[in-house]
Structure 1
Amino acid sequence: MTEEYENELPPSGEEQTSEKPQYRRGIKSFVIRAGRLTKGQEGGLERQWPVMGLELAQGPVNPVDVFGRDGHVVLEIGYGMGQSLVAMAAAAPEKDFIGVEVHLPGVGSLLNMAEEAGVTNLRTYKEDAIEVLKLLPENSLDTVQLFFPDPWHKKKHHKRRIVQAEFAQTIRRVLKPGGVFHMATDWEPYKEHMLEVMDVAEGYENIAGKGNCVPRPDHRPLTKFEKRGERLGHGVWDLMFRKV
Protein backbone atom coordinates (compact mmCIF):
# COMPACT_ATOMS: atom_id res chain seq x y z
CA MET A 1 0.00 0.00 0.00
CA THR A 2 1.40 3.37 -0.89
CA GLU A 3 1.62 6.61 0.95
CA GLU A 4 -0.86 9.33 0.06
CA TYR A 5 -1.08 13.10 -0.03
CA GLU A 6 -3.58 15.83 -0.67
CA ASN A 7 -2.55 19.39 -1.51
CA GLU A 8 -4.25 22.67 -2.03
CA LEU A 9 -3.32 25.44 -4.41
CA PRO A 10 -3.12 29.00 -3.04
CA PRO A 11 -6.47 30.58 -2.19
CA SER A 12 -8.16 32.39 -5.02
CA GLY A 13 -6.72 35.84 -5.46
CA GLU A 14 -3.18 34.93 -4.44
CA GLU A 15 -0.65 35.61 -7.15
CA GLN A 16 1.49 32.80 -8.52
CA THR A 17 4.76 34.06 -9.92
CA SER A 18 5.58 31.05 -12.09
CA GLU A 19 4.04 27.95 -13.58
CA LYS A 20 5.62 25.85 -10.85
CA PRO A 21 2.85 25.00 -8.37
CA GLN A 22 2.92 26.87 -5.07
CA TYR A 23 1.71 24.63 -2.26
CA ARG A 24 0.37 25.10 1.19
CA ARG A 25 0.01 21.95 3.22
CA GLY A 26 -3.43 20.45 3.09
CA ILE A 27 -4.56 17.20 4.65
CA LYS A 28 -1.85 14.58 4.79
CA SER A 29 -3.42 11.45 3.51
CA PHE A 30 -0.77 9.08 4.74
CA VAL A 31 -0.30 7.79 8.26
CA ILE A 32 3.12 7.01 9.69
CA ARG A 33 3.04 3.45 11.00
CA ALA A 34 5.33 2.45 13.82
CA GLY A 35 7.49 -0.55 13.10
CA ARG A 36 10.78 -2.04 14.15
CA LEU A 37 13.56 -2.56 11.68
CA THR A 38 14.75 -6.08 10.99
CA LYS A 39 18.47 -6.76 10.90
CA GLY A 40 18.30 -6.97 7.13
CA GLN A 41 16.58 -3.59 6.90
CA GLU A 42 19.08 -2.03 9.29
CA GLY A 43 21.95 -3.44 7.25
CA GLY A 44 20.46 -2.19 4.01
CA LEU A 45 20.14 1.32 5.42
CA GLU A 46 23.65 1.33 6.87
CA ARG A 47 25.36 0.07 3.71
CA GLN A 48 23.22 1.44 0.89
CA TRP A 49 21.74 4.73 2.08
CA PRO A 50 25.03 6.56 1.38
CA VAL A 51 24.87 5.15 -2.16
CA MET A 52 21.16 5.21 -3.02
CA GLY A 53 19.65 7.65 -0.54
CA LEU A 54 18.41 11.09 -1.58
CA GLU A 55 17.43 13.86 0.83
CA LEU A 56 15.43 17.06 0.58
CA ALA A 57 18.38 18.94 2.07
CA GLN A 58 20.26 18.29 -1.18
CA GLY A 59 17.92 20.73 -2.86
CA PRO A 60 16.60 20.59 -6.44
CA VAL A 61 17.52 17.35 -8.13
CA ASN A 62 17.92 16.59 -11.83
CA PRO A 63 17.72 12.87 -12.69
CA VAL A 64 20.39 13.35 -15.36
CA ASP A 65 22.84 14.45 -12.65
CA VAL A 66 21.73 11.77 -10.19
CA PHE A 67 22.25 8.86 -12.59
CA GLY A 68 24.93 10.34 -14.82
CA ARG A 69 22.94 9.73 -17.99
CA ASP A 70 19.90 11.03 -19.83
CA GLY A 71 17.69 7.95 -19.72
CA HIS A 72 14.10 6.91 -19.22
CA VAL A 73 13.21 7.97 -15.66
CA VAL A 74 10.50 6.35 -13.53
CA LEU A 75 9.28 7.79 -10.21
CA GLU A 76 7.23 5.56 -7.89
CA ILE A 77 5.25 7.10 -5.06
CA GLY A 78 4.79 4.85 -2.03
CA TYR A 79 6.59 1.62 -2.91
CA GLY A 80 5.77 -0.17 0.36
CA MET A 81 8.44 -2.78 1.10
CA GLY A 82 9.97 -2.28 -2.34
CA GLN A 83 9.72 -5.76 -3.87
CA SER A 84 8.09 -4.71 -7.15
CA LEU A 85 10.23 -1.59 -7.56
CA VAL A 86 13.46 -3.54 -7.15
CA ALA A 87 12.17 -6.17 -9.58
CA MET A 88 11.37 -3.49 -12.17
CA ALA A 89 14.77 -1.84 -11.76
CA ALA A 90 16.54 -5.19 -12.10
CA ALA A 91 14.54 -6.08 -15.22
CA ALA A 92 15.20 -2.75 -16.95
CA PRO A 93 18.82 -1.68 -16.36
CA GLU A 94 18.49 0.81 -19.23
CA LYS A 95 15.97 2.82 -17.17
CA ASP A 96 16.48 4.85 -14.00
CA PHE A 97 14.15 4.59 -11.00
CA ILE A 98 13.46 6.92 -8.09
CA GLY A 99 11.30 5.65 -5.23
CA VAL A 100 9.57 7.70 -2.55
CA GLU A 101 8.41 6.12 0.70
CA VAL A 102 7.74 7.57 4.17
CA HIS A 103 8.14 4.38 6.18
CA LEU A 104 11.68 3.57 7.31
CA PRO A 105 11.26 -0.25 7.35
CA GLY A 106 10.13 -0.08 3.71
CA VAL A 107 13.14 2.02 2.75
CA GLY A 108 15.46 -0.40 4.56
CA SER A 109 13.80 -3.35 2.85
CA LEU A 110 14.17 -1.75 -0.59
CA LEU A 111 17.86 -0.99 -0.02
CA ASN A 112 18.58 -4.48 1.27
CA MET A 113 16.87 -6.15 -1.71
CA ALA A 114 18.52 -3.77 -4.18
CA GLU A 115 21.92 -4.67 -2.75
CA GLU A 116 21.19 -8.40 -2.98
CA ALA A 117 19.99 -8.00 -6.58
CA GLY A 118 23.00 -5.92 -7.60
CA VAL A 119 20.73 -3.06 -8.71
CA THR A 120 22.48 0.25 -9.37
CA ASN A 121 19.84 2.19 -11.34
CA LEU A 122 17.71 2.97 -8.28
CA ARG A 123 17.57 5.84 -5.76
CA THR A 124 15.14 6.54 -2.94
CA TYR A 125 13.78 9.27 -0.74
CA LYS A 126 12.29 8.78 2.71
CA GLU A 127 10.05 11.79 2.42
CA ASP A 128 6.61 13.18 1.67
CA ALA A 129 6.27 12.83 -2.11
CA ILE A 130 4.86 16.34 -2.48
CA GLU A 131 8.09 17.77 -1.06
CA VAL A 132 10.09 15.62 -3.49
CA LEU A 133 7.99 16.68 -6.48
CA LYS A 134 8.76 20.33 -5.70
CA LEU A 135 12.47 19.61 -6.27
CA LEU A 136 12.11 17.94 -9.66
CA PRO A 137 12.45 19.99 -12.85
CA GLU A 138 9.52 20.39 -15.19
CA ASN A 139 9.36 17.77 -17.95
CA SER A 140 11.94 15.52 -16.26
CA LEU A 141 10.12 12.17 -15.80
CA ASP A 142 8.96 9.60 -18.33
CA THR A 143 6.70 7.68 -15.94
CA VAL A 144 5.10 8.27 -12.55
CA GLN A 145 3.80 5.14 -10.80
CA LEU A 146 1.18 5.00 -8.05
CA PHE A 147 0.35 1.40 -7.20
CA PHE A 148 -2.33 0.40 -4.69
CA PRO A 149 -2.68 3.67 -2.78
CA ASP A 150 -4.87 3.72 0.31
CA PRO A 151 -8.43 4.02 -1.03
CA TRP A 152 -9.77 5.58 2.19
CA HIS A 153 -12.95 3.55 1.99
CA LYS A 154 -15.20 5.70 4.23
CA LYS A 155 -16.96 8.55 2.44
CA LYS A 156 -15.86 11.07 5.08
CA HIS A 157 -12.24 10.17 4.25
CA HIS A 158 -12.50 10.45 0.46
CA LYS A 159 -10.88 13.89 0.62
CA ARG A 160 -7.71 12.09 1.75
CA ARG A 161 -7.37 10.16 -1.49
CA ILE A 162 -4.22 11.11 -3.34
CA VAL A 163 -5.78 11.13 -6.81
CA GLN A 164 -7.39 14.55 -6.97
CA ALA A 165 -7.47 17.24 -9.64
CA GLU A 166 -4.66 19.29 -8.05
CA PHE A 167 -2.43 16.25 -7.68
CA ALA A 168 -2.95 15.31 -11.33
CA GLN A 169 -1.57 18.71 -12.34
CA THR A 170 1.33 18.33 -9.90
CA ILE A 171 2.27 15.12 -11.70
CA ARG A 172 1.72 16.67 -15.11
CA ARG A 173 4.27 19.40 -14.37
CA VAL A 174 7.13 16.91 -13.93
CA LEU A 175 6.14 14.52 -16.72
CA LYS A 176 7.80 14.91 -20.10
CA PRO A 177 5.45 15.45 -23.06
CA GLY A 178 4.15 11.97 -23.82
CA GLY A 179 5.03 10.80 -20.30
CA VAL A 180 2.68 8.43 -18.50
CA PHE A 181 0.94 8.54 -15.11
CA HIS A 182 0.33 4.85 -14.28
CA MET A 183 -2.02 3.92 -11.42
CA ALA A 184 -3.23 0.58 -10.11
CA THR A 185 -5.85 -0.26 -7.51
CA ASP A 186 -7.69 -3.31 -6.20
CA TRP A 187 -10.66 -1.29 -4.92
CA GLU A 188 -13.27 -0.80 -7.63
CA PRO A 189 -14.88 2.35 -6.16
CA TYR A 190 -11.42 3.94 -6.10
CA LYS A 191 -10.88 2.91 -9.71
CA GLU A 192 -14.08 4.75 -10.58
CA HIS A 193 -12.87 7.77 -8.63
CA MET A 194 -9.51 7.74 -10.46
CA LEU A 195 -11.27 7.60 -13.83
CA GLU A 196 -13.65 10.39 -12.83
CA VAL A 197 -10.74 12.65 -11.88
CA MET A 198 -8.30 11.76 -14.64
CA ASP A 199 -10.67 11.57 -17.61
CA VAL A 200 -11.39 15.30 -17.20
CA ALA A 201 -7.90 16.35 -16.07
CA GLU A 202 -6.43 19.04 -18.30
CA GLY A 203 -3.49 17.94 -20.42
CA TYR A 204 -4.03 14.18 -20.20
CA GLU A 205 -5.43 11.47 -22.45
CA ASN A 206 -6.58 8.06 -21.29
CA ILE A 207 -4.45 5.55 -23.19
CA ALA A 208 -7.29 3.00 -23.10
CA GLY A 209 -9.96 5.53 -24.06
CA LYS A 210 -12.24 7.51 -21.77
CA GLY A 211 -13.68 5.44 -18.95
CA ASN A 212 -11.44 2.44 -19.63
CA CYS A 213 -8.54 0.64 -17.97
CA VAL A 214 -5.56 -1.09 -19.55
CA PRO A 215 -4.53 -4.74 -19.03
CA ARG A 216 -1.75 -5.10 -16.47
CA PRO A 217 1.46 -4.34 -18.38
CA ASP A 218 4.20 -6.95 -18.22
CA HIS A 219 6.62 -4.52 -16.58
CA ARG A 220 4.44 -4.24 -13.45
CA PRO A 221 5.20 -7.35 -11.37
CA LEU A 222 2.41 -9.25 -9.70
CA THR A 223 2.68 -8.93 -5.91
CA LYS A 224 1.92 -11.78 -3.51
CA PHE A 225 -1.06 -9.77 -2.29
CA GLU A 226 -2.33 -9.38 -5.85
CA LYS A 227 -1.89 -13.08 -6.63
CA ARG A 228 -3.86 -13.98 -3.51
CA GLY A 229 -6.59 -11.54 -4.51
CA GLU A 230 -6.82 -13.07 -7.97
CA ARG A 231 -7.33 -16.51 -6.45
CA LEU A 232 -10.16 -15.07 -4.38
CA GLY A 233 -11.71 -13.43 -7.41
CA HIS A 234 -10.77 -9.87 -6.50
CA GLY A 235 -10.27 -7.42 -9.33
CA VAL A 236 -7.22 -5.28 -10.03
CA TRP A 237 -7.33 -2.31 -12.39
CA ASP A 238 -4.49 -0.49 -14.16
CA LEU A 239 -5.02 3.02 -15.47
CA MET A 240 -2.59 4.87 -17.74
CA PHE A 241 -2.85 8.52 -18.70
CA ARG A 242 -0.47 10.21 -21.13
CA LYS A 243 0.58 13.86 -20.88
CA VAL A 244 -0.45 15.74 -24.02
Structure 2
Amino acid sequence: MNGIKSFVRRTGQITRAQERAIGELSRYIISSEEKELIHFDTYFSKKNVVVEIGFGMGLATYQIAQANPQTGYLGFEVYPAGVGKLLLAIEEHQLKNLYIVQDDAVACVPTMIADATLAGVHLFYPDPWPKKRHHKRRILQKEFIHLLASKLKVGGYLYIVTDWQEYAEEILARLMVEPLLKNRYDDYAEPQSWRPMTRFNEKANEAGRSSWELFFTRI
Protein backbone atom coordinates (compact mmCIF):
# COMPACT_ATOMS: atom_id res chain seq x y z
CA MET A 1 0.00 0.00 0.00
CA ASN A 2 1.07 3.60 -0.48
CA GLY A 3 1.16 4.49 3.25
CA ILE A 4 -1.46 7.24 2.86
CA LYS A 5 -4.34 6.88 5.32
CA SER A 6 -7.86 6.55 3.93
CA PHE A 7 -9.26 8.12 7.11
CA VAL A 8 -8.56 10.97 9.52
CA ARG A 9 -8.25 10.26 13.22
CA ARG A 10 -11.09 12.08 14.96
CA THR A 11 -11.96 12.12 18.63
CA GLY A 12 -15.67 12.31 17.78
CA GLN A 13 -18.55 11.87 20.17
CA ILE A 14 -18.33 8.68 22.18
CA THR A 15 -20.81 7.92 24.92
CA ARG A 16 -19.85 6.56 28.30
CA ALA A 17 -21.59 3.30 27.47
CA GLN A 18 -19.62 2.94 24.22
CA GLU A 19 -16.35 3.75 25.96
CA ARG A 20 -17.12 1.30 28.74
CA ALA A 21 -17.99 -1.39 26.19
CA ILE A 22 -14.54 -1.17 24.61
CA GLY A 23 -13.03 -2.01 27.99
CA GLU A 24 -15.55 -4.52 29.29
CA LEU A 25 -16.44 -6.35 26.07
CA SER A 26 -12.93 -6.74 24.69
CA ARG A 27 -13.54 -10.49 24.29
CA TYR A 28 -15.23 -9.57 21.00
CA ILE A 29 -12.15 -7.67 19.79
CA ILE A 30 -9.31 -9.44 18.00
CA SER A 31 -5.98 -7.78 18.76
CA SER A 32 -4.12 -6.21 15.86
CA GLU A 33 -1.09 -5.17 17.90
CA GLU A 34 1.27 -7.61 16.19
CA LYS A 35 -0.72 -7.83 12.91
CA GLU A 36 -0.55 -11.62 13.25
CA LEU A 37 -2.53 -14.05 11.12
CA ILE A 38 -6.05 -14.66 12.42
CA HIS A 39 -6.84 -18.36 12.65
CA PHE A 40 -10.52 -18.30 11.78
CA ASP A 41 -11.28 -21.68 13.37
CA THR A 42 -10.41 -20.19 16.76
CA TYR A 43 -13.25 -17.67 16.49
CA PHE A 44 -15.64 -18.99 13.88
CA SER A 45 -15.33 -22.80 14.09
CA LYS A 46 -15.86 -24.08 10.53
CA LYS A 47 -17.99 -21.16 9.36
CA ASN A 48 -17.43 -19.23 6.15
CA VAL A 49 -16.08 -15.79 7.02
CA VAL A 50 -17.09 -12.39 5.60
CA VAL A 51 -15.10 -9.22 6.32
CA GLU A 52 -16.62 -5.75 6.52
CA ILE A 53 -14.26 -2.81 6.15
CA GLY A 54 -15.30 0.44 7.82
CA PHE A 55 -18.56 -0.60 9.48
CA GLY A 56 -19.32 2.86 10.89
CA MET A 57 -21.82 2.52 13.73
CA GLY A 58 -22.34 -1.15 12.90
CA LEU A 59 -26.12 -1.17 12.38
CA ALA A 60 -26.04 -3.13 9.13
CA THR A 61 -23.15 -5.23 10.42
CA TYR A 62 -24.94 -6.75 13.37
CA GLN A 63 -28.20 -7.13 11.45
CA ILE A 64 -26.47 -9.15 8.73
CA ALA A 65 -24.66 -11.27 11.33
CA GLN A 66 -27.87 -11.82 13.27
CA ALA A 67 -29.70 -12.96 10.13
CA ASN A 68 -26.89 -15.36 9.13
CA PRO A 69 -25.68 -17.25 12.23
CA GLN A 70 -24.12 -19.92 10.00
CA THR A 71 -21.58 -17.35 8.72
CA GLY A 72 -18.77 -15.65 10.63
CA TYR A 73 -18.31 -11.88 10.36
CA LEU A 74 -15.22 -9.80 11.05
CA GLY A 75 -15.51 -6.02 11.07
CA PHE A 76 -12.68 -3.50 10.77
CA GLU A 77 -13.22 0.02 12.13
CA VAL A 78 -10.91 2.72 13.48
CA TYR A 79 -13.44 4.99 15.19
CA PRO A 80 -14.06 4.18 18.88
CA ALA A 81 -17.71 5.31 18.91
CA GLY A 82 -18.59 2.82 16.17
CA VAL A 83 -16.60 0.04 17.82
CA GLY A 84 -18.31 0.67 21.15
CA LYS A 85 -21.74 0.83 19.54
CA LEU A 86 -21.26 -2.49 17.74
CA LEU A 87 -19.88 -4.15 20.88
CA LEU A 88 -23.06 -3.18 22.72
CA ALA A 89 -25.15 -4.68 19.91
CA ILE A 90 -23.12 -7.91 19.95
CA GLU A 91 -23.69 -8.24 23.69
CA GLU A 92 -27.36 -7.26 23.56
CA HIS A 93 -28.16 -9.78 20.82
CA GLN A 94 -25.71 -12.41 22.11
CA LEU A 95 -24.06 -12.81 18.72
CA LYS A 96 -21.51 -15.61 18.58
CA ASN A 97 -20.47 -15.04 14.97
CA LEU A 98 -19.23 -11.44 14.96
CA TYR A 99 -15.83 -10.06 16.00
CA ILE A 100 -14.09 -6.71 15.60
CA VAL A 101 -10.60 -5.50 14.74
CA GLN A 102 -10.23 -1.91 15.94
CA ASP A 103 -7.64 -0.85 13.40
CA ASP A 104 -7.01 0.22 9.81
CA ALA A 105 -7.92 -2.59 7.42
CA VAL A 106 -5.31 -1.43 4.91
CA ALA A 107 -2.60 -2.07 7.49
CA CYS A 108 -4.10 -5.30 8.85
CA VAL A 109 -5.49 -7.29 5.93
CA PRO A 110 -2.13 -8.11 4.28
CA THR A 111 -0.86 -10.17 7.23
CA MET A 112 -3.94 -10.88 9.37
CA ILE A 113 -6.07 -12.51 6.65
CA ALA A 114 -4.73 -15.56 4.80
CA ASP A 115 -5.04 -15.72 1.03
CA ALA A 116 -8.11 -17.43 -0.47
CA THR A 117 -9.96 -17.74 2.86
CA LEU A 118 -12.84 -15.23 2.72
CA ALA A 119 -16.37 -15.92 1.54
CA GLY A 120 -17.01 -12.21 1.05
CA VAL A 121 -15.91 -8.62 1.65
CA HIS A 122 -18.25 -5.68 2.28
CA LEU A 123 -17.40 -1.99 1.84
CA PHE A 124 -20.52 0.07 2.32
CA TYR A 125 -20.18 3.81 1.68
CA PRO A 126 -16.39 4.20 1.97
CA ASP A 127 -15.23 7.80 2.29
CA PRO A 128 -15.29 9.25 -1.27
CA TRP A 129 -12.74 11.99 -0.53
CA PRO A 130 -14.44 14.18 -3.15
CA LYS A 131 -11.73 16.83 -3.55
CA LYS A 132 -9.36 15.87 -6.36
CA ARG A 133 -6.26 16.50 -4.28
CA HIS A 134 -7.55 13.93 -1.77
CA HIS A 135 -8.32 11.15 -4.27
CA LYS A 136 -5.10 9.40 -3.24
CA ARG A 137 -6.75 8.80 0.15
CA ARG A 138 -9.54 6.71 -1.33
CA ILE A 139 -9.32 3.20 0.07
CA LEU A 140 -10.24 1.42 -3.17
CA GLN A 141 -6.98 1.93 -5.00
CA LYS A 142 -5.84 -0.63 -7.58
CA GLU A 143 -3.42 -2.29 -5.15
CA PHE A 144 -5.98 -2.68 -2.36
CA ILE A 145 -8.58 -4.09 -4.73
CA HIS A 146 -6.07 -6.72 -5.84
CA LEU A 147 -5.23 -7.50 -2.22
CA LEU A 148 -8.90 -8.00 -1.34
CA ALA A 149 -9.41 -10.20 -4.40
CA SER A 150 -6.47 -12.37 -3.33
CA LYS A 151 -8.05 -12.93 0.09
CA LEU A 152 -11.30 -14.27 -1.40
CA LYS A 153 -11.96 -17.94 -2.00
CA VAL A 154 -12.92 -18.86 -5.55
CA GLY A 155 -16.58 -17.89 -5.75
CA GLY A 156 -16.23 -15.42 -2.88
CA TYR A 157 -17.66 -11.96 -3.46
CA LEU A 158 -16.66 -8.31 -3.14
CA TYR A 159 -19.67 -6.06 -2.49
CA ILE A 160 -19.22 -2.28 -2.62
CA VAL A 161 -21.81 0.49 -2.28
CA THR A 162 -21.20 4.23 -2.71
CA ASP A 163 -23.37 7.30 -3.13
CA TRP A 164 -20.67 9.23 -5.01
CA GLN A 165 -21.09 8.69 -8.76
CA GLU A 166 -17.60 9.70 -9.82
CA TYR A 167 -16.11 7.36 -7.21
CA ALA A 168 -18.43 4.57 -8.37
CA GLU A 169 -17.19 5.01 -11.94
CA GLU A 170 -13.58 4.93 -10.75
CA ILE A 171 -14.15 1.78 -8.68
CA LEU A 172 -15.99 0.02 -11.51
CA ALA A 173 -13.17 0.76 -13.94
CA ARG A 174 -10.60 -0.66 -11.51
CA LEU A 175 -12.65 -3.75 -10.74
CA MET A 176 -13.18 -4.50 -14.43
CA VAL A 177 -9.43 -4.81 -15.04
CA GLU A 178 -8.70 -6.90 -11.93
CA PRO A 179 -7.89 -10.37 -13.33
CA LEU A 180 -9.04 -12.22 -10.19
CA LEU A 181 -12.56 -10.77 -10.29
CA LYS A 182 -15.63 -11.10 -12.50
CA ASN A 183 -18.62 -8.75 -12.57
CA ARG A 184 -21.88 -10.58 -11.87
CA TYR A 185 -23.82 -7.81 -13.62
CA ASP A 186 -23.40 -5.92 -16.89
CA ASP A 187 -22.10 -2.89 -14.99
CA TYR A 188 -23.63 -1.77 -11.67
CA ALA A 189 -25.37 -4.34 -9.50
CA GLU A 190 -28.94 -4.48 -8.32
CA PRO A 191 -29.34 -3.75 -4.59
CA GLN A 192 -28.89 -7.00 -2.69
CA SER A 193 -32.10 -7.75 -0.79
CA TRP A 194 -30.23 -8.88 2.31
CA ARG A 195 -28.27 -5.64 2.81
CA PRO A 196 -29.90 -3.48 5.51
CA MET A 197 -30.00 0.30 5.40
CA THR A 198 -26.92 2.00 6.87
CA ARG A 199 -26.69 5.45 8.43
CA PHE A 200 -24.80 6.72 5.38
CA ASN A 201 -27.44 5.13 3.16
CA GLU A 202 -30.13 7.09 5.01
CA LYS A 203 -28.13 10.33 4.75
CA ALA A 204 -27.68 9.82 1.01
CA ASN A 205 -31.41 9.26 0.57
CA GLU A 206 -32.23 12.36 2.61
CA ALA A 207 -29.85 14.40 0.43
CA GLY A 208 -31.42 13.01 -2.76
CA ARG A 209 -28.30 11.10 -3.80
CA SER A 210 -28.52 7.74 -5.54
CA SER A 211 -26.42 4.74 -4.52
CA TRP A 212 -24.28 2.69 -6.90
CA GLU A 213 -23.66 -0.94 -6.07
CA LEU A 214 -20.91 -3.23 -7.35
CA PHE A 215 -20.87 -7.00 -6.92
CA PHE A 216 -17.89 -8.99 -8.19
CA THR A 217 -16.81 -12.57 -7.49
CA ARG A 218 -13.44 -14.27 -7.35
CA ILE A 219 -12.61 -16.48 -10.32
TM bin (shorter chain): over 0.9
> What are structure 2's unaligned runs of at least 5 residues?
none
Change (3 A) 1:225 1:130: closer
Match of 1:227 among 202, 206, 214: 202
Match of 1:180 among 157, 173, 177: 157
Cα distance in 2 for partners of 1:144, 1:117 equals: 23
Structure index of larger Rg: 1
Q: Which residue of 1 aligns with 2:54?
A: 78
Shift in Å, 1:60: 1.3
> What are structure 1's unaligned runs of at least 5 residues?
1-6, 9-25
Cα distance in 1 for partners of 2:112, 2:200 equals: 33
Moved segments of 4+, more than 6 Å: none
Structure 2 residue matching 1:171: 3-state secondary structure: helix
Superposed CA deviations along residues 119-156 of structure 1, whole A, max 9, x for unmatched, are: 12100011111232122111111001111011111111
Match of 2:6 among 26, 29, 33: 29
Superposed CA deviations along residues 151-175 of structure 1, whole A, max 9, x for unmatched, are: 1111111111111111111101211
Cα distance in 1 for partners of 2:16, 2:177 equals: 47
Match of 1:170 among 133, 140, 147: 147
Q: Percent identical across equivalent pairs?
A: 35
Letter in 1 for 2:147: T
Cα distance in 1 for partners of 2:172, 2:74 equals: 25
Shift in Å, 1:233: 3.2
Contact kept, 8 Å, 2:19 with 2:80, in 1: the verdict is: no
Q: Which residue of 1 aligns with 2:79?
A: 103
Superposed CA deviations along residues 43-94 of structure 1, whole A, max 9, x for unmatched, are: 3223321x21101246211212222x22121100110111110111111111
Cα distance in 2 for partners of 1:180, 1:142 equals: 6
Contact kept, 8 Å, 1:183 with 1:240, in 2: the verdict is: yes
TM-score w.r.t. length of structure 2: 0.93
RMSD of equivalent CA atoms: 1.5
Change (3 A) 1:225 1:102: closer
Structure 2 residue matching 1:76: 3-state secondary structure: strand
Mapping of residues 108-119 of structure 1, within 5 Å: 108-119=84-95
Q: How many residues align?
A: 217
